Amino acid sequence: MKRRTLVTAALAAAVAVAAQTGAAMAMNPVLKIGFVGVTSGPAAAWGTSNQRSMEARAAWINETGGYTIGGTTYDIEIVSFDDQKDPKRAIAGMEKMANEGIHYVVGPNVDDGAAAVRPVAEKNGIMYFPYAFPKELYSAPASNAVLGMVANYQSGPAIYKMLRDEKGVKTVAFVAANESDPLSQRDSGVAAAKALGLDVVSSNVTYQVDTTDFTPVLTPVMRSRPDLLVLSGVSPANAPQLIRSARELGYRGLISTETAQDARVLSEGAGDLANGFISVGGASTPEIASDMMKEFVDRYTAMFGEYNDESNTKVYALEYILETLKANPAAIDDVDEFQRTMDTFEAPNPYMKGDAKLRYVGMSSFGQKRQIAVPLVVNVFNDGEFETMFVAEVD
Amino acid sequence: MEQILANGVYLGAQYAMIALGLTLIFALMNVLNFAHGQMYVLGGFVTYTFYGQLGWPFVPALLMSCLTLAVAGALIERFLFAPVIRRSAREESTMLLAAGLAFLLDAIILLVFGEKQRGVPKIVNGVLNWDFRVIMPYDRILICGLAILSIVTFILFMQYSKTGRALRALAQDRTAAELMGVDVARYSMIGFAIGAMLAGLVGGLLVTITGVNLGMGGPTSIKAFMMVMIGGAGVISGAIAGGIILGFLEAIGLAVLSQYGDITYLVIFVSLMIFLAIRPRGLMGKPWG
Amino acid sequence: MSKPSPAHWIGLAVFLAAVFVAIPMLIAASGRTDFYFTLTSVALLAIASAGVWLMFYIGRIHIGQGAFALIGAYVSAILVTKAEMSFWLTLPLAGLFAAFVAVLIGIPILRLRGVYFAMISLVLTQVVTLTALALPITNGAKGITSIPLPGAISAFGITLVPDFADIENTRLAFYLTSCFLMVLTFAAMHRLVNSRLGHICRSMQQNEALAASIGVNIAHIRIIVFSISSFFGGIGGAMFGSIAQSVYPSTFVVADSVNFMLNCFLGGLGYVFGPMLGTLVLYFGWDLLFEFGRYQLLIYSGLLILAMLVLPNGLLSIRPDMFRRSSK
């Protein structure tokens, strides 16, 4: 027993030393921004596009001399922690961020992780930007979470309303994976559709995320002959298969989702059958992307070999953090200052053409400004590319 | 009704193939191969690379999947499983090795092929629509046919070839086979290679329909375990039966229970537990304690 | 079994001093406060793994401990949020409820052996996850969130345990609590293994039929051991729910069940303290490899395979003369 204890102690000591020698060597002082999310295992796609967006942007900033906040120019360092989509690991990741003295963290990617890190974040003065939708994360008394994208209960109604008014959609069916996030999104989607006077003809059908054949899943849904099929919270891996199965079963209506998708994945997995598929995206469609967005896509592609369209929304969180810090340099190690600034903060949106603004929103959904204003861009897939259907704003 | 049958046959055929490789490895060496699903995913990615990316014809690409996995399987057996089995006090210890291997393959696949869902062009277009009673795309029919053909070939191989007979002898009784002059080490390696190759083959076949992504490995392994348990561990016919039963269970369950969506799989899993509680060795399994 | 020698007692004292004094001091000195949570996790996961180890001890490969951890987490969360009970009261109740479920399920499934039991326990994890998604009392997919921190315990007007919400260093409080539970668990395990029951378990691991033939009611013993094992799982899960202040159906999943089992393998199936060491190395190892970024998983799995090749009987087999139980 003695030996094991010694080993434990030695290990702890070795780690403590290793941690202190790991500091980066740079000319500018370093500003660390954290990322806690899933970058390995089955759900690796979700966090990877996050992490890479941040790294691509940070490398760009550093290459062009750094980022100036309150007269000091910083190099940006992204500290990433892979939580393996495990809420227990996510807590460990947030603890690590606290230990590194980081006050601004992007992630986690899923509901359970975002809920689990809340105590640590609030205790240690960390603002975090999850990609999870539960309202209690962002409504008082919760104070430190900022929704990093448009929630489905915000985009859903906008999409359904447009389809009702312009495409004559009357009946809707929902399918969702049998997991927390998609099921919650389905429930709020159903509520939104009903509020708009749409007839929900099927909402009970669910599938396991590991389904390899969606024909039996979709057969009963197709029997209800909906005008619109909503794939609630669908992962980019499942979307093309679901679309393909629905079309092969002879479905001719519309298909939509409220999550971000990737064009190449859709065209590889479903080809022409995915034409007309409606999803929510960021700002990289040619109609609205600014030159800076285009350069971001180029740099991302050069750095990692292949762009991911999900990054169109995920590019924003880091930009918001930095811009807000620039607006109030005192917030750099004081999140109370950050929270005060959020109420009035406004800056031009560099990724979109025109005079779009970066600002914090969420009053109507959460009763406080705890969401970043990402343009609600609704895309339709056509022959391998996304086209913008309409752009809306969240308040 | 016809649609449910068709779905069941299609699902059953692909499941049976996945289960075959797993049960073969289990029968030969009592290794519960946690990495089976990852091998399947790797097979899918190899076919994706050759057929989807490099523009090879489908069949040679499929053969590359088989070859890659067979070689990988042989090496894994020779350098990892064989030494550990030889030296560990309890043979279940290989489960840790298998799990480590599953993590390793996951890591390699992530680094080499990336995190995204991948797909390949369809091998045949068009959908068979028999009066809206059975709707089945032609490529699924083709893949289903190929899967059944592979299963039949495998059975014939095990039944009539010299290697097949040696493997069966080995599966039945390791010690007796050794006494009869079967080169146990060599045939263990061959058996493992064939098991891995089957995983690669089915991965390559299914990539044309479902595409492939990193996350499919773990759940596939678990599904394969279930099929093997239903049919009975370590028995070839049991694996086939288990695959077909699970396929039909899903097809029927999804059709009948769709009203209660959220609990379809709960019902499937619970009935599986009840079934195993009643038949503790599956349908036709040999006892193993 | 030999009587505990003075060396054992000294070892125990050193271990306790390290866990309760030295490690907190080291953490305070190095400023690595994040290790508190990591080590808290290790302690709690080790408790659950201990239950799995106990099942190995009667010759069952148990890949379902995640199910009992999830049950424990939910029981405690529901009692705290809906019935407004004190967390400290719900902790044993969570364990007892998990044990109760284990008895009900154990009666049919403990007849299974080998891979069949392994598989059925694996399916059990999925069944519990799916049940949690479907039931109203667990709040389905939305999970239970905003669970209050553990309150104070006082007896005769003296506060024995302060309210966690008022403590400045909750990390330390959770760490000490979890380590205390871990020490209790392993003390119980050690006691059990060296008791008559432990002796019977060992004979069952070798040969159940033989054990039955010498007049042991093995069905009873199996149920007892399974419920003790699940009790540990329930406790570990409940404690985790309280730290995260939230429970979701995905809080414990199949991957956790598999990890509990791997902890036992890595530490060594022949050693009571195997699960503790296995958990420490597996869980902490992942955190230590954090620096390697995208190669983290590759290196982690590579090391795991290497460990298996070098020490196929577990890490503790490196000193076969020290902890070896008379396994053969």
A252 close contact with B: CB closer than 8 A: no
Res A395 pLDDT > 80: no
C255 close contact with B: CB closer than 8 A: yes
Say which DSSP state A38 is in.
Answer: -
Average pLDDT over residues A315-324: 94
Kindly state the tokens that stand for A383: 């022959």
Average pLDDT over residues C213-221: 84
- The whole-angstrom distance between B112's CA and the closest CA on chain A is 12
Average pLDDT over residues A24-33: 76
The full set of domain ranges for chain C reads 1-32, 41-323
Chain C interface, best mutation among B95, B249, B283, B286, by max C CB count within 10 A: B95
8 Å CB contact of C265 and B100: no
* pLDDT for res C322: 42
Average pLDDT over residues B22-40: 90
In B104-133, the residues whose Cβ lies within 8 Å of chain A are 106-107, 110, 114-122, 127, 129, 132
Q: Which of A45-54, A135-144, B183-192, C317-326 shows the lowest per-residue confidence on average (mean pLDDT)?
A: C317-326
Average pLDDT over residues A294-323: 91
CB A172 within 8 A of CB A160: yes
Range of the domain at B47: 2-215
Res A370 pLDDT > 70: yes
Residues of A in contact with C251 (CB under 8 A): 87-88, 112, 116
CB A279 within 8 A of CB A31: no
* pLDDT for res A12: 52
Length of chain B measured in residues: 289
Confidence of residue A18 (pLDDT cuts 50, 70, 90): very low
B227 assigned to some structural domain: no
pTM recorded for the entire structure: 0.90
CB A394 within 8 A of CB A154: yes
* pLDDT for res B285: 66
C209 close contact with B: CB closer than 8 A: no
B189 assigned to some structural domain: yes
Chain A interface, best mutation among B34, B111, B115, by max A CB count within 10 A: B115
- The whole-angstrom distance between B113's CA and the closest CA on chain A is 11
B199 close contact with A: CB closer than 8 A: no
pLDDT tens string C46-59: 999 999 999 999 98
3-state secondary structure chain C: CCCCCHHHHHHHHHHHHHHHHHHHHHHHHHCCCHHHHHHHHHHHHHHHHHHHHHHHHCCCCCCCHHHHHHHHHHHHHHHHHCCCCCHHHHHHHHHHHHHHHHHHHHHHHCCCCHHHHHHHHHHHHHHHHHHHHHCCCCCHHHCECCCCCCCCEEECCEEEECCHHHCCCHHHHHHHHHHHHHHHHHHHHHHHHCCHHHHHHHHHHHCHHHHHHCCCCHHHHHHHHHHHHHHHHHHHHHHHHHHHCCECCCCCCHHHHHHHHHHHHHHCCCCCCHHHHHHHHHHHHHHHHHHHHHHHHHHHHHHHHHHHHHCCCCHHHHCHHHHCCCCC
Radius of gyration of chain A (CA): 22
* pLDDT for res A338: 94
Give me the percent of chain A exceeding a pLDDT of 70. 92
8 Å CB contact of A87 and C251: yes
Res C291 pLDDT > 90: no
pLDDT, mean over chain B? 88
- The whole-angstrom distance between A88's CA and the closest CA on chain C is 7
Task: Select the residue of C11, C26, C130 nearest A2 (Cβ to Cβ).
Answer: C11
Q: Which of B266, A279, A200 is nearest to C135 (CA)?
A: B266
Match 């892979």 to its residue by tokens. Answer: A82
- The whole-angstrom distance between C56's CA and the closest CA on chain A is 22
Residues of C in contact with A54 (CB under 8 A): none
Confidence of residue A299 (pLDDT cuts 50, 70, 90): very high
Closest Cα in chain C to A118:
C244
CB C76 within 8 A of CB C236: no
**For the CA atoms of A154, A156, A160, A162, what is the dihedral angle to 10 degrees?**
50
Res C223 pLDDT > 90: yes
Task: Select the residue of C127, C301, C313 nearest B93 (Cβ to Cβ).
Answer: C313
Average pLDDT over residues A120-134: 93
Average pLDDT over residues A220-233: 91
8 Å CB contact of B117 and A183: no
Q: Classify each residue of B235-262 as buried b or exposed e, where b means 16 or more C-beta atoms within 10 Å of its C-beta.
A: bbebbbbbbbbbbbbbbbbbbebbeebb
- Per mean pLDDT, which of C236-245, C303-312, C314-323 is the most reliable? C236-245
Task: Select the residue of C35, C146, C291 nearest A136 (Cβ to Cβ).
Answer: C146
Q: Which of A106-110, A332-336, B282-286, C102-106 shows the lowest per-residue confidence on average (mean pLDDT)?
A: B282-286
* pLDDT for res C211: 79
B148 assigned to some structural domain: yes
Res A3 pLDDT > 60: no
Res C320 pLDDT > 50: no
8 Å CB contact of B280 and C261: no
CB C57 within 8 A of CB C205: yes
* pLDDT for res B257: 81
B252 assigned to some structural domain: no
Chains with ≥3 CB–CB distances under 8 Å to B:
A, C
Kindly state the tokens that stand for B83: 């030494």
Task: Select the residue of A206, A249, A265 nearest B135 (Cβ to Cβ).
Answer: A249
8 Å CB contact of B281 and C116: yes
- The whole-angstrom distance between C219's CA and the closest CA on chain B is 14
Res B102 pLDDT > 50: yes
What are the distances in angstroms from CA A134 to CA A110, A112, A299, B146, C135?
10, 10, 33, 46, 19
Average pLDDT over residues A62-81: 93
Res B210 pLDDT > 50: yes
Average pLDDT over residues B39-51: 95
Res A5 pLDDT > 70: no
B103 assigned to some structural domain: yes
Chain B interface, best mutation among A210, A251, A303, A306, by max B CB count within 10 A: A210
Res B242 pLDDT > 60: yes
Before A329, cis peptide (omega within 30)?
Answer: no
Confidence of residue A8 (pLDDT cuts 50, 70, 90): low
Confidence of residue C209 (pLDDT cuts 50, 70, 90): confident
- The whole-angstrom distance between B227's CA and the closest CA on chain A is 15
* pLDDT for res C316: 85
B268 close contact with C: CB closer than 8 A: no
Q: Mapping DSSP to helix (H, G, I), strand (E, B) and coil, where does residue A191 land?
A: helix
Task: Select the residue of B215, B259, B265 nearest A178 (Cβ to Cβ).
Answer: B265
Q: Mapping DSSP to helix (H, G, I), strand (E, B) and coil, where does residue B55 land?
A: coil
Average pLDDT over residues A71-89: 92
Task: Please state whether beta strands A171-177 and A206-207 pair in parallel, antiparallel, or not at all (unpaired).
Answer: parallel
* CA–CA–CA angle A366, A367, A373 (5° rounding): 60
Closest Cα in chain A to C10:
A2
User: Distance between CA atoms of A361 and C19, rounded to whole angstroms?
Assistant: 47
User: Distance between CA atoms of A295 and A289, rounded to whole angstroms?
Assistant: 10
Give me the percent of chain C exceeding a pLDDT of 70. 96
pLDDT, mean over chain A? 87
A218 close contact with B: CB closer than 8 A: no
Closest Cα in chain C to A133:
C142
The alpha carbon of residue A368 and the mean position of all alpha carbons in its chain are separated, in whole angstroms, by: 20
Domains of chain A: 27-149+290-374 (3.40.50.2300), 152-259 (3.40.50.2300)
Sign of the CA dihedral with A41 first, then A42, A47, and A49 last: positive
The one-letter amino acid at A82: D
Helix pair angle (B264-278, C87-109), 10° resolution: 50
User: Distance between CA atoms of C228 and C241, rounded to whole angstroms?
Assistant: 20
Give me the percent of chain C exceeding a pLDDT of 90. 58
- The whole-angstrom distance between C215's CA and the closest CA on chain B is 20
Confidence of residue A105 (pLDDT cuts 50, 70, 90): very high
pLDDT tens string B113-150: 988 888 888 888 888 888 778 888 898 999 999 999 99
* pLDDT for res C4: 65
B26 close contact with C: CB closer than 8 A: yes
What are the distances in angstroms from CA B196 to CA A321, B32, B39, B75?
48, 13, 7, 11
B226 assigned to some structural domain: no
Confidence of residue C3 (pLDDT cuts 50, 70, 90): low
Length of chain A measured in residues: 395
Number of domains in chain B: 1
- The whole-angstrom distance between C85's CA and the closest CA on chain B is 31
- The whole-angstrom distance between C136's CA and the closest CA on chain A is 14
Res A11 pLDDT > 70: no
Confidence of residue A42 (pLDDT cuts 50, 70, 90): low
* CA–CA–CA angle C52, C53, C59 (5° rounding): 95
B53 close contact with A: CB closer than 8 A: no
* pLDDT for res A330: 93
B220 close contact with A: CB closer than 8 A: yes
8 Å CB contact of B254 and A250: no
8 Å CB contact of A212 and B214: no
Confidence of residue B31 (pLDDT cuts 50, 70, 90): confident
Q: Which of A24-28, A260-264, A353-357, C229-233 shows the lowest per-residue confidence on average (mean pLDDT)?
A: A24-28
- In this predicted complex, what is the ipTM? 0.88
8 Å CB contact of A43 and B215: yes
Res A254 pLDDT > 60: yes
* pLDDT for res A17: 46
Res A132 pLDDT > 70: yes
Residues of B in contact with C134 (CB under 8 A): 262-263, 266
Residues of C in contact with B32 (CB under 8 A): 115, 118
* pLDDT for res C1: 44
pLDDT tens string C63-74: 999 999 999 999
Closest Cα in chain B to A182:
B262
- The whole-angstrom distance between A272's CA and the closest CA on chain C is 34
Closest Cα in chain C to A16:
C30
More confident residue, C326 or C104: C104
